[in-house]
C-alpha cells in the first residue's frame, strides 16, 4: 500500500511562492506513486480561489485543480475562508471547504508524513 | 530520529541551525532549502553553519535556478529536483520539521 503525504500550507497565493512549492511537492509525490492530501489554513485558503489570473506568476489555483483531478484530496479551513469574505462556491471544484477537526486531523492521523509550508 | 528540516526563509530573516541543533544530531538531520532559503547554501558562512547542522543538504533546483544560480555556485549540498526531495521526506527520514 502506498504511503501517504499530507501537505499543510499557510501562505496566500500571492504572498510568496509557498503555495507553488506545496503544489510542486504534491505533484512530485503523486508522480512517484504516493497518496497526497493537502490542507490550506490561514492565508493559505486564498490559493483555492477560483478564477485567479496572475499575469507573471504560475497560477496556483489551476495547479491545485489539476492536482485534485489527479487524485490529490484537498481541503481548506472554513473559518479562515469565511473570515476573508469568501463564500462557498468561490473555490476551485476540487477543493473542499472543511475544517481542522473534520479534515486536517483526519489527514494527519492517516498519513505517514506531514510537511508544513509556512512562514 | 531521522529528521528532514524544511526551510523557506532567507538567512537574513532566520538562521535555521539554532533549532536544528536542538532537535536532531547532525547524522540524523537532512535539510531541504526552498525559495529564498537557497541562499543558506550560497553564502560561505551560512553554508558552513548548515553543513555543521545537517549531514545532507538538498537545494530545490527550480528555486536555485529561478534566482540565477546553479549547482556550481553551492558552497554546501546539492541541487535536486522535487522528486529527490520527496524521496528524502518519504523514505530517508521519519519526520519533518519546518523551521
How far apart CA B46 and CA A108 sit, in angstroms, is 33
pLDDT at residue B31 in the model: 98
Select the residue of B63, B82, B90 nearest A34 (Cβ to Cβ): B90
| DSSP code at position A40 | E
pLDDT (mean) for A69-91? 97
* pLDDT in the model for residue A12: 87
CATH of the domain at B88: 3.40.1260.10
Residue spans of the domains in chain A: they are 4-117
pLDDT tens readout for residues A12-36: 888 889 999 999 999 999 999 999 9
Q: Domain count of chain B?
A: 1
Name the DSSP class of B55: S
Percent of chain A with pLDDT over 70: 100
Q: Single out the residue of B89, B27, B28 nearest to residue B58, CA to CA.
A: B89
CATH for the A4-117 domain, from 3.40.50.300, 3.30.2130.10, 3.40.50.920, 3.40.1260.10: 3.40.1260.10
Q: What pTM was computed for the model?
A: 0.95
A interface with B, Cβ–Cβ < 8 A, is: 3, 5, 16-18, 21, 24-25, 27-29, 31-32, 34, 112-119
Coil, strand or helix: which one is A43? helix
> What residues in A contact B87, CB-CB < 8 Å?
32
d(CA B51, CA B74): 12
Question: pLDDT category, B34, cuts 50, 70, 90?
Answer: very high
Q: What is the mean pLDDT of residues A64-86?
A: 97
Q: How far is CA A24 from CA A98, B24, B63, B74, in A?
A: 23, 27, 11, 22
In this predicted structure, the answer to whether residue B3 has a pLDDT above a threshold of 90 is: yes
Residue of A nearest to B13 (CA): A119
Inter-chain residue contact B82 with A27, CB threshold 8 Å: yes
What is the average per-residue pLDDT within B26-55? 97
CA distance A84 to A65: 21
* Cell numbers representing residue A19 in the block: 503555495
Amino acid at each position: 500500500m502506498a504511503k501517504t503525504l499530507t501537505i499543510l500550507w499557510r501562505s496566500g497565493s500571492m504572498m510568496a511562492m509557498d503555495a507553488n512549492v506545496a503544489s510542486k511537492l504534491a505533484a512530485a509525490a503523486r508522480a512517484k506513486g504516493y497518496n497526497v492530501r493537502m490542507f490550506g489554513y490561514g492565508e493559505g485558503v486564498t490559493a483555492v480561489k477560483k478564477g485567479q489570473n496572475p499575469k507573471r506568476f504560475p497560477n496556483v489555483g489551476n495547479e491545485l485543480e489539476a492536482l485534485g483531478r489527479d487524485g490529490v484530496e484537498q481541503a481548506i479551513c472554513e473559518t479562515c475562508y469565511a473570515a476573508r469574505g469568501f463564500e462557498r462556491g468561490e473555490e476551485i471544484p476540487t477543493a473542499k471547504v472543511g475544517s481542522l477537526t473534520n479534515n486536517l486531523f483526519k489527514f494527519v492521523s492517516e498519513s505517514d508524513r506531514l510537511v508544513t509550508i509556512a512562514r | 530520529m531521522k529528521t528532514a528540516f524544511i526551510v523557506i526563509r532567507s538567512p537574513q530573516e532566520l538562521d535555521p541551525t539554532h533549532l536544528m541543533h536542538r532537535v536532531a544530531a547532525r547524522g540524523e538531520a537532512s535539510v531541504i532549502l526552498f525559495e529564498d532559503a537557497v541562499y543558506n547554501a550560497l553564502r560561505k558562512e551560512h553554508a558552513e553553519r548548515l553543513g555543521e547542522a545537517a549531514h545532507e543538504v538538498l537545494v530545490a533546483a527550480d528555486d536555485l535556478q529561478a534566482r540565477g544560480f546553479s549547482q556550481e555556485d553551492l558552497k554546501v549540498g546539492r541541487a535536486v529536483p522535487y522528486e529527490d526531495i520527496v524521496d528524502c521526506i518519504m523514505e530517508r527520514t521519519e519526520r519533518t520539521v519546518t523551521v
